[in-house]
Amino acid sequence: RYVRADLCTACDDCVKACPVELPSEFNRGLAWRKAIYIPFPQAVPTTYTLDAERCLNAQHQSPTGYRVLACERCYDACKPRAIDFDEKAEVVEREVGAIVAATGFELWAAEQGQEYGYGRHPDVVDGLEFERLLSASGPTGGEVRRPSDGKPARRVVMIQCVGSRDPRRGVPYCSRICCMYTAKHALLYKHKVHDGQVYVFYMDIRAGGKGYEEFVNRVMEEERVVYIRGRVSQVVPRDGELLVFGADTLSGQAVQVRADLVVLATAMVPARNGDLARKLRIAVDPYGFLQEAHPKLRPVETLTAGVLIAGAAHAPKDIPDTVAQASAAAAKALELLSRPALSREPTVAQVNEAACNACFDCQRVCPYLAVERTEIRDRQGKLLRLVARINPAMCEGCGACVVACRPQAIDLSGYSSEQVFAQLEALVPALAGAAAR
């Protein structure tokens, strides 16, 4: 971070001195930050970090290779001398007994919904941007103002299921949290703008949880938020406002609503888990979320022993469900680490390397990623051939590789083809004799 946490007092002098201004990622580009900044208000420790790629000193070197400082304003302003331009990135390695993968989620790119005008009209924002407008630590100090001209937003239209339940363009699943956080946004807005009006376009209200249905009903009845069941076809700027065209499917009529601000409840999509899944040797579901071992019996475990999952990395879920699953994953990790010794499945696959033809069909079907490609070399190091080998620590003895192996080079320990046939040969006469009696 190029700032020593043990010396930094978070006095803000370095921020005032920094000449570089950049869009704030935490405020979704609705405000500015300096090249030295605190990432978000609740950061622990409360220490500044230096954006090395945007700092004026980035890649600034003399022709001889010696680093030359183009700017030292933050260093000069820092009385405790906490700025350290020479700090190097450090790779930390740890040996652990369990891993909890909780990589979170990303938002569906609302620009793909061209009818909403997100990215073209500054007064069309997503739910996270509206959250920052509502926050007292946000870019407007909690006042809901239009990003285009700073005027107060008196009429707000909220559109749900933007990207969710949309197999053609977005994702086919429900994102689960949108109905509730839209109701929360409507409630907070009404508490701030008492004479404001909120319209919510929705497909279905899916408020499944303790007290959720009651909360949505409270927003409708007490705060007078208008819910319209139907989809929005277009958002058009007109005369300094936004005109929202939609349909009310309950009345069968077309609807037009004038708005100062349009808020999109965008879908939850998985974080880029592909590389992480390969490193951890765990599976992902068809949508890209991390796959659990069993949805009912092993909901926080993966097919790789010792690797657990929690939160929205597993599937779309809200904070209570995330906390519950994280607690379960932590308890499962503690249970795993508290054992004096680990045991593995005694029935594992074994490869007859002499019969293996290196087709690696076994590797393609193995759900536990236990099959490894191994090079066979001679004493001089020359590559002779490739064979499949089973990692016994990863194998769970499911037998999928045995079935897929065309040259029949793989057997389960204790269940080789010879053993199974011998058991059948001994069993058939016994059954025949019993039937005769």
Contact between residue 367 and residue 285 where contact means Cβ atoms under 8 Å apart: no
Structural domains of the chain, with CATH: 1-93 (no CATH), 105-269 (3.50.50.60), 277-337 (no CATH), 349-422 (3.30.70.20)
148 contacts: CB under 8 Å, gap ≥ 6: 121, 122, 123
The H or E element spanning position 351 is strand 349-351
**Considering the entire predicted model, what is its pTM?**
0.82
Tokens of 120: 């073209």
Determine the pLDDT at residue 255.
96
E-assigned strand segments in 211-339: 226-229, 232-238, 241-248, 253-259, 261-266, 268-270, 307-309
Handedness of CA 140, 141, 145, 150 (dihedral sign): negative
Mapped onto helix, strand or coil, the DSSP state of residue 257 is strand
Determine the pLDDT at residue 66.
46
In angstroms, the Cα distances linking 375 to 368, 381, 385, 394 are 21, 10, 6, 19
Please tell me the distance from the alpha carbon of residue 217 to that of residue 199, in angstroms, as a whole number.
14
Residue 72: closest CA among 27, 25, 14: 14
437 residues of the chain, pLDDT tens digit each: 889 999 999 999 999 999 999 999 999 999 999 999 999 988 888 899 999 888 887 655 444 444 556 788 998 999 999 998 888 888 999 999 999 999 999 999 999 999 999 999 999 999 999 999 999 999 999 999 999 999 999 999 999 999 999 999 999 999 999 999 999 999 999 999 999 999 999 999 999 899 999 999 999 999 999 999 999 999 999 989 999 999 999 999 999 999 999 999 999 999 988 889 988 888 899 999 999 999 999 999 998 889 999 999 999 999 999 999 999 999 999 999 998 887 777 889 999 999 999 999 999 999 888 899 999 998 888 999 999 999 988 888 889 999 999 999 999 988 888 888 888 888 887 666 666 65
Backbone angles phi, psi at 380, to 5 degrees: -85, 0
Determine the pLDDT at residue 62.
44
Please tell me the distance from the alpha carbon of residue 131 to that of residue 75, in angstroms, as a whole number.
34
Tokens of 148: 């285009």
Tokens of 187: 């409630």
Tokens of 221: 């009845």
Tokens of 251: 């009345």
Q: What is the DSSP letter of 144?
A: -
Contact between residue 332 and residue 248 where contact means Cβ atoms under 8 Å apart: no
Please tell me the distance from the alpha carbon of residue 54 to that of residue 57, in angstroms, as a whole number.
8
Residue 123: closest CA among 145, 102, 147, 103: 147
